[in-house]
């Protein structure tokens, strides 16, 4: 099975990684862990400021991804685990990636960093769920 | 992990069960197969007919228990050492499923992306969406691979 894990560095996406670590998987299961950098809408008048933020964000994404890969690899040493940073609108980028990767399952947190209410599923998660070509698992923090 | 599988007898919910059957599980994972029988609104536009109403509901309940037996057998054959419970609830699908998930202390709800009332394969079913929004735990929406 091809499993696409979409991370954004939020608490619920950390839970997605913990979920993968705790569950049993087949040796053949192939993981692709991604993080999507969305072009900031504020760039219209502040081109240079944006570039800096984007670069910092890329760095942050790389850290999140390599930490995630290491912790999954530790539990699942025999599985193939890749990471990728993608740019574009979050929802479409995740869905396109799922198609291209021929994902059987997308795993993601219930809300990203923009979420304000623990009870409400993130708009990104919901949009991905609607457009996904495959099964989607939304991980929610317990309690 | 406590895994609740919500079935409604549709093609899509069959995928949800197939998905569970195919995947690896831990020995201590527990399963609950759940199905909700929703009262059929036969009284719209016509006078309320108590006999017809209870008869349809009775048939729906029988069908529900039969569905649970088949599903339990299938899951038990695939995962013989796991505990599999079944539960048929009566009421509104969304609230019954959410209440059941809570009272059974589910860690994960597995369900199809749309049920018997879905008309478009591309859309996410309203029940799946409502369960996802209201669930206290993780939810896996199973879609047939396109």
**Cα nearest neighbour of A122 on chain B:** B133
User: Does B145 contact A at CB distance below 8 Å?
Assistant: yes
Minimum-distance CB partner of A104 among B1, B25, B145? B145
User: Does B81 contact A at CB distance below 8 Å?
Assistant: no
Q: Which of B19, B41, B48, B2 is nearest to B112 (CA)?
A: B19
Interface test with A, best of B29, B102, B132 (most A CBs within 10 A): B132
Counted residue by residue, chain A has a size of: 143
CA A15 to chain centre: 11
Write down the mean pLDDT value for chain B: 84
Contact B24, A26 (CB under 8 A): yes
DSSP 8-state assignment for residue A52: H
CATH code of residue A36: 3.40.50.620
**Which CA distances in Å does A81 have to A17, A27, A117, B48?**
12, 11, 32, 60
**Cα nearest neighbour of A142 on chain B:** B137
d(CA A119, CA A121): 6
ipTM rounded to 2 decimals:
0.82
Confidence of residue A143 (pLDDT cuts 50, 70, 90): very low
CA distance B2 to chain A (A): 12
Its CATH architecture, for the domain B2-142, is 3-Layer(aba) Sandwich (3.40)
Contact B63, B35 (CB under 8 A): no
Residue B24: which residues within 8 A CB-CB, separation 6 or more?
A: A24, A25, A26
Residues of chain A with C-beta less than 8 angstroms from the C-beta of B136: 140, 142-143
Judged against a pLDDT cut of 50, whether residue A118 lies above it is answered with no
**pLDDT at site A83:** 96
Q: Is B143 close to A126, i.e. CB distance below 8 A?
A: no
Residue range A70-110, pLDDT digits in tens: 999 999 999 999 999 998 888 999 999 999 999 999 999 87
d(CA A56, CA A58): 5
Confidence of residue A18 (pLDDT cuts 50, 70, 90): very high
Minimum-distance CB partner of A24 among B24, B140, B141? B24
Chain A residues bordering chain B (beta-carbon distance below 8 Å): 1, 19, 22-26, 104-105, 110, 119-121, 126, 129-130, 132-140, 142-143
Query: Where exactly are the structural domains of chain B?
Result: 2-142
Judged against a pLDDT cut of 50, whether residue A119 lies above it is answered with no
Structural domain harbouring A15: 2-139
Interface test with B, best of A79, A91, A100, A135 (most B CBs within 10 A): A135
d(CA A73, CA B80): 30
Long-range contacts of A122-125 (CB under 8 A, 24+ apart): A122/A12, A124/A90, A124/A91, A124/A94
User: Does B146 contact A at CB distance below 8 Å?
Assistant: yes
How much is the average pLDDT of A64-69?
93
Higher pLDDT, B84 or A126: B84
Higher pLDDT, A39 or B83: B83
**pLDDT at site B59:** 82
Name the stretches of chain B with pLDDT < 70. Answer: 40-57, 115-124, 145-146
Residue range B131-144, pLDDT digits in tens: 988 898 999 999 87
Judged against a pLDDT cut of 50, whether residue A133 lies above it is answered with yes
């Amino acid at each position: 099975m091809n499993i696409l894990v979409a991370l954004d560095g939020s608490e619920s996406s950390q839970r997605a990684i913990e979920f993968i670590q705790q569950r049993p998987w087949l040796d053949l299961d192939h993981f692709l862990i991604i993080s999507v950098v969305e072009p900031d809408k504020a760039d219209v008048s502040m081109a240079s400021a944006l570039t800096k933020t984007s670069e910092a964000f890329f760095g942050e994404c790389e850290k999140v991804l390599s930490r995630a890969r290491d912790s999954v690899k530790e539990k699942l040493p025999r599985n193939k685990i890749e990471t990728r940073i993608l740019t574009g609108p979050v929802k479409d980028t995740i869905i396109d990636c799922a198609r291209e990767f021929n994902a059987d399952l997308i795993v993601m947190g219930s809300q990203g960093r923009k979420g304000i209410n623990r009870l409400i599923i993130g708009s990104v998660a919901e949009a991905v769920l609607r457009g996904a070509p495959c099964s989607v698992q939304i991980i929610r923090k317990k309690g | 992990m406590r895994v609740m599988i919500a079935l409604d007898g549709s093609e899509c919910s069959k995928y949800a069960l197939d998905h569970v059957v195919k995947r690896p599980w831990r020995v201590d994972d527990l399963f609950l197969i759940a199905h909700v029988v929703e009262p059929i609104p036969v009284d719209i536009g016509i006078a309320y007919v108590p006999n017809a109403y209870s008869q349809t509901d009775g048939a729906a309940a029988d069908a529900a228990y039969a569905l649970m037996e088949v599903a339990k057998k299938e899951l038990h054959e695939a995962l013989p050492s796991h505990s599999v419970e079944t539960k048929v609830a009566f009421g509104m699908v969304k609230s019954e499923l959410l209440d059941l998930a809570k009272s059974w202390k589910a860690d994960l709800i597995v369900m199809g992306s749309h049920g018997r009332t879905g008309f478009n394969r591309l859309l996410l079913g309203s029940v799946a969406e409502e369960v996802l929004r209201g669930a206290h735990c993780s939810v896996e929406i199973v879609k047939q691979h396109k």
